[in-house]
Amino acid sequence: MKRLRAAGAVVVGKVRIPELAAWTFTQATQCAPRNPLDLSIDPGGSGAAAAVAARMAVLALATDGGGAARVPAACCGLIGLKPGPGVVPLPRGADERWCGLSATGPIARTAEDAALLLGVLSAEPVDLDLPGPRRVALSLRAPWPSRSLHPDHRAAAIGAAARLRAGPGGAIVAFADPPYPRGLVLQWMRRWQAGVAQDAEALGLDPGTAERSTRTVVRKGRRVLRFTPPRPDVTAAWRERVLGWMDEGDYDVLLGPATARPPLRAGAMLGHGYTSSLLTTATSLACTPAWNLAGLPAVVAPVLIGERPVGVQLVGRPGAEAALLAAAAKLERRAVPTAGLPAPRVYA
């Protein structure tokens, strides 16, 4: 925040988020944010994304431990960036948060605005005048099990790939799935639970005052920290594995859906317990947490299916934040073919 104020930013306020940032929706009965695109649906649990989409603010910050910048951006038709580790300082000067999962990133209406904010936060100007990616891997497979991919989200990813391919110097786009290892879900969940428990401890939260579902996360997280603390070698191995796959295919960018399904109906999870909240969050986050575990930068950009924005996600190599935002700028708010079109296996 100091860097923003020093650069002349006017901080207009704080916004509502899910309790301890544990979920992808807000269960509170009062002051729960609604999605400005459609007041009947949830904005991915983020008041920050709702404020930007409603033009109450130009920019917003999010601490993304599994998709808190990207999923709300996808729900609200915005740009959301999760930088790589250390690119942007974490709140209160922390070395890490949520066992290394978290990164601070911008939410904005345009890639240009997101680049401006990233430049201030990282103390390095971000140039979007970059060539597009040379070779793109298009994957419609979520990193972990979820309900089937919604046709609009499939069409959005395929259409975004076609846009990156189009024109002189366009990318070569090939269908290719990353080598997701078994246990990826469990590794992220253990860090998420432990991180929420650490936040509860740091805030002095009495678990008895928390929502029922959050109390369970805190209890499970304390158990993880006590008996089986997450090991950094697990995430390092996944990072090396996926970077090796990118090297082998000579891919600059991995492109896929940002979310597998449309946003939830507002208030749909009010009063729900741990299990149903976990399953709903897992569905919302099916496409995003793997890249927190790998420590790779990822950006969400909206493309248009009909007149409705649907988010797609681009994942890059370490240090590729500017290149990802430049690619996002070529996609944002651009119309792509409607749902139901057959998908060719390879663009050449």
Task: For residue 283, give the nearest of 23, 12, 57, 76 by alpha carbon.
Answer: 23
pTM of the model: 0.93
CA triplet 282, 238, 99: central angle to 5 degrees? 65
Q: What pLDDT sits at residue 14?
A: 85
Output DSSP code: residue 35.
Answer: B
Residue whose tokens read 């978290």: 102
SS3 of 339, please?
A: coil
Residue scoring higher pLDDT (339 or 211): 211
pLDDT per residue as tens digits for the range 6-61 = 888 888 888 888 888 888 887 665 567 889 999 999 999 888 999 999 999 999 99
Q: What pLDDT sits at residue 31?
A: 63
Predicted confidence (pLDDT) at residue 160 exceeds the cutoff of 50: yes
The DSSP line for 43-75 is -TT-HHHHHHHTTS-SEEEEEESSSTTHHHHHH
The first and second tokens of residue 83, run together, are: 């930088």
* d(C-alpha 71, C-alpha 96), whole Å: 21
pLDDT per residue as tens digits for the range 173-230 = 999 999 999 999 999 999 999 999 999 999 998 878 888 889 999 999 999 999 999 9
pLDDT per residue as tens digits for the range 244-253 = 999 999 999 9
Provide the H-helix boundaries in the chain. 2-6, 47-53, 70-76, 111-122, 151-165, 184-203, 212-227, 232-249, 274-284, 289-294, 321-331
Predicted confidence (pLDDT) at residue 346 exceeds the cutoff of 50: no
Q: What pLDDT sits at residue 316?
A: 98
Residue whose tokens read 């890059």: 316
The DSSP line for 320-331 is -HHHHHHHHHHH
When mean pLDDT is compared across 71-80, 125-134, 275-284, the lowest value belongs to 275-284
- Which are the contacts of 289, defined by CB distance < 8 A and separation ≥ 6? 66, 67, 101, 143, 188, 192
* The one-letter amino acid at 67: G
Rounded alpha-carbon distances, angstroms, from residue 191 to 88, 96, 224, 226, 237: 20, 12, 8, 13, 16
Q: What pLDDT sits at residue 29?
A: 52
Predicted confidence (pLDDT) at residue 344 exceeds the cutoff of 50: no
Q: What share of the chain is helix, strand, coil (3-state, %, to 5)?
A: 40, 15, 45
Q: Which of 81-95, 143-157, 285-299 has the highest mean pLDDT?
A: 285-299
CA triplet 307, 105, 90: central angle to 5 degrees? 160
Task: For residue 234, give the nearest of 318, 294, 145, 317 by alpha carbon.
Answer: 294
Q: What pLDDT sits at residue 341?
A: 47
Summary mean pLDDT of the chain: 90
173 Ramachandran zone, left/alpha/beta (phi>0; psi -120 to 50): beta
Contact 246, 186 (CB under 8 A): no
Domains annotated for the chain, with CATH where assigned, are 2-336 (3.90.1300.10)
